[in-house]
Amino acid sequence: MIEHKLRMGDTDVHCIESDIEGERIFILLHGAHFNSGIWTKVNTLKLLEAYGISFIAPDIPGFGLTQKSKIYSEASGLNRFILDLCTHKSARSLVFIGASMGGGIALSFAKENPSMVDGMFLVGTVGLDSPGMAEFLSLLNRPVELVWGSEDSVIPVNRAKEMSKKLPKANLFVIQGAAHPAYLASPDVFNSHLEEWMVGNGFTRRNLAAR
């Protein structure tokens, strides 16, 4: 695992990435009040590394140690940002782990590039109930996991429950006592559930069969 800066577009992107190659990568996208280091703090990157998964966790442009970017601004620019991360990792498909704002970026990318997305593990994500999202996710036919804190005051868990009822192929996992950044309250519970989801859907190196 290495932490460094990549020149991408018109900015230097600070990121943490595995030194493992693979046609499928995990992209971890942080929330608005965090940066890529949050995934180290809660040991999620350590879990992915233990399973031999190719991953990259960037500081999204304008956050952490990555400066704002004219190229990677707005939804279309952030979609290009994700595509450039895939190019850097020589990946053809990806799995998202996205929290709050990061989950919203993942959803936006998936709507524009559904064939590239193998799955999404979304934590208190924004945009989940935006117009047309329920219909899109129902048609996506990929594993989608919704992880929420029972005490989320930013996006109440009831909104996630309502959305999950509309998505027969999505599952909602509630971390009791957790606030909006649910992984911070119980990192072990969060990572254990992520591990179960990865193994169950064939995303680990030992059973990384092409879909």
Query: Which residues, 6+ apart, have CB-to-CB distance to 5 below 8 Å?
Result: 12, 13, 14, 15, 65
Residue 75 pLDDT > 90, yes or no? no
Residue 171 pLDDT > 90, yes or no? yes
- C-alpha separations of 33 from 42, 48, 102, 121 in Å: 15, 23, 11, 19
* Mean pLDDT of the region 176-189: 95
Residue 168, pLDDT score: 77
Around 156, how many Cα atoms within 13 Å sit in the side-chain half-sphere?
A: 3
- C-alpha separations of 73 from 5, 79, 94, 111, 114 in Å: 19, 9, 21, 17, 21
Residue 177, pLDDT score: 95
CATH code of the domain containing 85: 3.40.50.1820
Q: pTM for this structure?
A: 0.94
Total structural domains within the chain:
1
Residue 37, pLDDT score: 97
Give residue 125's domain range. Answer: 2-207
pLDDT band at 22 (very low <50, low <70, confident <90, very high): confident
Helices (H) and strands (E) in the chain, counts: 8, 8
Residue 211, pLDDT score: 37
**Mean pLDDT over each residue of the chain, to the nearest integer:** 93
Residue 207, pLDDT score: 43
